[in-house]
Structure 1
Amino acid sequence: MKKIIYTIAFLLASGAAAQAQVEVKQTKSELAGFILLENDLLLYTLKEEQGQFIYSEQRDKSETSKKEVVLNAGLINAVVGGNKAAGELYVYQKNGRNQEVISFYRLKEGSFEKTGERLLPKMRNHARNLGMFLSDDKQTLVVAAELGRSQGHEDLYISKWENNRWSKPKNLGKTVNTRQPEFAPYLANDTLYFSRKDEAIAYNYRAPVDVATSKAGTPVKLAPVMNVAGTYNAYYKKVADRQMWISASQEQDYFYTAYLLEPVPSLKEEVLAIAPVEEVVEEVITPAPVLKTKAAAPAMKLFYAFNSVYLNLEEVSALARFLNKQPQGTELVIKGYSDGYGSAEAKDYVSRNRALQVKNHIEKYFAKKHFVVTLENEVRDAKGRDNRKTELYLMH
């Protein structure tokens, strides 16, 4: 028979996809925070013998690195927030105990221009370093400081801008503050992110917070990708769909590495051109693929403690027994759930990461069984243990 054969070209198109961990900066100098702006301008802060200074460079172009003179008006300088909608950047600058301000800047035609400044709250801070975060509306300041009634070393405090002045910094209490130093605060909606240090080791945490009352819930560690065990992990922040943090390890001779977790493009096939060419060929009949569907009921349910994305030992053992019974190559759908507590962002994070942690566990301990895994997640309005779970479905 006669059949028309078409020449088909394919393009790679951008689309929503998984997240990828990317190194954006590595240095032997101590990194004290960084941020990647929308125009791929990387701003990072280095601790040096003469002080602490902000540098800039275009992403993946280290040869463009330069010290930002305008931003470094103090001996100690750090980016402490910004307002994306207004195009503003907030920078802390210190030249002495009584010479501390937060200056506001805009990036215009490749240069930063100062638009204003605000003094800090009055406080006798005994901390070696002063870390802070200013909310995008400039109304809430989270400060890492060692004041008179601290729990140990640096604690986290909240101050509010009221009647054109800062309120007295209020300690966030024992749920967040411990005998170890808490530092590098970052506030997103009603979630507080911070780092806690124990000698050379530090981990990133998050906790729900009520800014109005300056009360915080119980902190939990962030996912292992942002908290490599036994190393220094700090300065976590989330800007749009990018997550950022810094890690360092003695095994790396204390190289400090700035990481991004950001979406990577997916591949989509598009027919670009159709060039007909006549050719006589034999018709090949290909059997239709067998489509599998997800079982209506879950084959297993795993439950969690409140606000946790990690399974306890009992649930891990039950999961192992279930997986050992499945044949090689079994296709599974892992669906994580969150109940109705918390902000929308926090609930979405928990539901996704409950499923992800189970997938990571399977890949680590059951790799030889070559399971095929698909992830799903759901946030529920109902509250309670029955909605804090991950379900495993078999495909058939």
Structure 2
Amino acid sequence: MKKIIYTIAFLLATGTIVQAQTSLKHAGADFADFILLENDVLLYARKEADGQYLYTEKRGDAASTKKEVVLNTGTINALIGRNTSTGEYYVYQKNSRNQEMISFYTFKDGNFEKTGERILPRLKNHSHNLGLYLSEDKNTLVVSAELGKSHGYEDLYVSNWENNRWSKPQNLGKAVNTSQPEFAPYVANDTLYFTRQDGAEAYNYSASFGTDSKPGTPVKLDQVFNTTGTYNAYYKKVDERQMWISASSENSALHTAYILEKPAPPVEEVKVEIEEMIMPVEDVVQPVVKTRAATPGLTLMYGFNKIYMDLVGVSAIARFLNQQPEGSTLVIKGYSDGYGTADVKENVSRRRALLIQQYIEKYFSAKKFTLEVENEVRDEKGKANRKAELYLIQ
């Protein structure tokens, strides 16, 4: 027998990819809505004695604060959408109930330049607030307002640009609207985000929102975006960045703009030496190679955005596991379909698999199964892709 020394080079990720929550700006009760533009320019709205106005500020440089005169042609001004491919930003501007406009701007070399405008739908709004979101293609407008009969205070409505005019705003219905105010609408990747007020508190929600503009059942966002007992609002997702505002519910409210972003992991090249013992062929014991079964031994189906097994699923998995010999190796693979943002879909598919793993470890620990967990996000939409599969390794 002899030794052979191999030198192998490979890439080693020395850091774990994590999302870092960072506060971008603190302000008093006059701070309302914000977004981080390209080149790390913060655009935010401030409520002042004579109206609401838009300001820019270089990230981390409070001294660079600038009131954007070209954007503030109304007494109430708000950013209501953007188009990443054209570089345009959509701004709502209001001087009175009969003087409301959506203006379009580009942002180059630190300056905004107007490129066009469009009228607003006729809104007999009985609310003090008017929240808007305009889709990238400028054809869908989500409105937060109190228009005639509503489910409570502010409700969410949708209007479509058809034949060079806006359609009559349609209430999004009881799936979204409650007796509490719903406001701050925002849409990204077929998902509607909005804020629902609850007394002095408010929390961010999401719901599927496809091309038919019919929302799914809202789900409250993770606690990182919804600090308990505070006022959380204006959630936005732009690429890998998620942004929102949280404010204390005390008399002297402090508003904080937060961002959650994923840094690139550091990568390092490392060399290792491996000693391999060369043995006579007759002394070599051939390992037993196990492979995954070509088809799943069990498939569990889920409802939209559901991650827990129902009673039918619990019964099916119990029967399946009782039939497997002690020490079996199982691969649990969770799936989600194409509805929702990338983060939500990834989370749903992964949690479906992890919850099954936890169930097996809790109720079938005596069988000493070896469990491997995988997940996959499907591009296809529909209930056939909302599932989890269990594969035997044989």
Q: Give the structure-1-normalised TM-score.
A: 0.73
Equivalent residue, structure 2, for 1:218: 217
Cα 1:59–1:160, aligned 2, differ >3 Å: closer, same or farther?
same
Aligned to 2:345: 350
How many Å separate the matches in 1 of 2:246 and 2:354? 24
SS in 1 for 2:304: coil
- In the alignment, the residues of structure 2 paired with residue 170 and residue 94 of structure 1 have an alpha-carbon distance, to the nearest angstrom, of 22
1:34–1:334 distance in 2 versus 1, CA, 3 Å: farther
The residue aligned with 2:282 is none
Would you say the 8 A contact 2:103–2:116 is kept in 1? Answer: yes
1:278 aligns to what? none
Separation in 2, partners of 1:382, 1:50 = 48
Counterpart mapping for 1:236-385 below 5 A:
236-250=235-249, 253-270=252-269, 306-308=304-306, 336-338=334-336, 340=337, 342-343=338-339, 345-346=340-341, 349-353=344-348, 355=350, 377-380=375-378
Instruction: Please state whether the residue corresponding to 1:351 is helix, strand or coil.
Output: helix
CA distance in 1, matches of 2:307, 2:255: 28
CA shift for structure 1 position 358: 9.5
CA 1:308–1:97 in 2, change beyond 3 Å: closer, same or farther? same
Match in the other structure for 1:144: 144
Whether the aligned pair in 1 keeps the contact of 2:349 and 2:377 (CA below 8 Å) is no
Q: What amino acid is aligned across from residue 308 of structure 1 in structure 2?
A: K
Cross-structure match for 1:21: 21
CA contact (8 A) 2:303 2:386 kept: no
- Alignment correspondent of 1:60: 60
Q: CA deviation at 1:253?
A: 4.8
Q: Which amino acid aligns with 2:217?
A: T
The amino acid of 2:112's aligned partner reads F
* CA distance in structure 1 between the partners assigned to 2:352 and 2:58 by the alignment: 34
Residue 147 of structure 1 deviates from its aligned partner by 0.5
Structure 2 contact 191–208 (Cα < 8 Å) conserved: yes
TM-score normalised according to structure 2 size = 0.73
User: SS of the residue aligned with 2:224?
Assistant: helix
Q: Give the aligned partner of residue 162 of structure 2.
A: 162
Contact 2:14–2:268 (CA under 8 A) maintained in structure 1: no
Please identify, of 254-263 and 302-311, the stretch whose mean Cα deviation from structure 2 is larger: 302-311
What do the CA deviations read for 1:38-89 (whole angstroms, capped 9, x no partner)?
2111101112222111111111111211211111111111100011111111
How far the C-alpha of 1:30 sits from its partner, in A, is: 3.6
State the partner residue of 1:325: none
Q: What one-letter code is carried by the residue in structure 2 that aligns with 1:90?
A: Y
Deviates more, 1:181-190 or 1:141-150: 181-190
Q: Secondary structure at the match of 1:70?
A: helix
- Once the two structures are superposed, the pairs formed by residues 165-204 of structure 1 within 5 Å of their partners are 165-204=165-204
Name the SS of the counterpart of 1:215 in structure 2. coil
Task: Mark the runs of 5 or more structure 1 residues left unpaired by the alignment.
Answer: 1-10, 275-283, 289-293, 316-332, 363-373
Residue type matched to 2:70 in 1? V
Q: Residues 260 and 389 from structure 1, CA distance in 2 versus in 1: closer, same or farther, beyond 3 angstroms?
A: farther
Runs in 1 of length 4+ with deviation above 6 angstroms? Answer: 11-16, 284-288, 294-298, 301-304, 356-360
The alignment's C-alpha RMSD in Å is 4.3
Inter-partner Cα distance in structure 1 for 2:300 and 2:223:
20
Equivalences, count: 345
Percent sequence identity over matched residues?
A: 57
